[in-house]
Amino acid sequence: MTPNAAGWRSSAAYEHIAEMNPSDLAWEWLRRNDAYVEDYRELSEGMTDAQALTDKIRQRWGLRFPRGPAGPSI
């Protein structure tokens, strides 16, 4: 998943960042990270044990899941 970087120097393309809170900004970075996308794909497709993958994501990405793993229904 490689985003189109053609307009990366366009300030208009990034004006919305000024309105983001730290959590929003972190999500924008994370959702573009190929390793995170792969971890999420594993969870959403039920490719591995949900609890084991939740623990891996928690350690690797610093994410917390207060309700526990949702499993394939995400």
DSSP 16-41: GGGG--HHHHHHHHHTT-HHHHHHHH
**Does residue 4 lie in a domain region?**
no
Quote the pTM value: 0.53
**Does residue 16 lie in a domain region?**
no
**Does residue 61 lie in a domain region?**
yes
**Does residue 6 lie in a domain region?**
no
**Alpha-carbon span 56 to 29, nearest angstrom:** 19
How high does pLDDT run on average in the chain?
Answer: 76
**Does residue 9 lie in a domain region?**
no
Q: How much is the pLDDT for 7?
A: 60
Crossing angle of the two packed helices 50-61 and 34-44, in degrees rounded to 10: 160
Q: Residues 23-54: pLDDT tens digits? A: 888 888 888 899 988 888 887 787 778 788 87
Structural domains of the chain, count: 1
Q: How much is the pLDDT for 34?
A: 92
Quote the domain boundaries for residue 61. 21-73
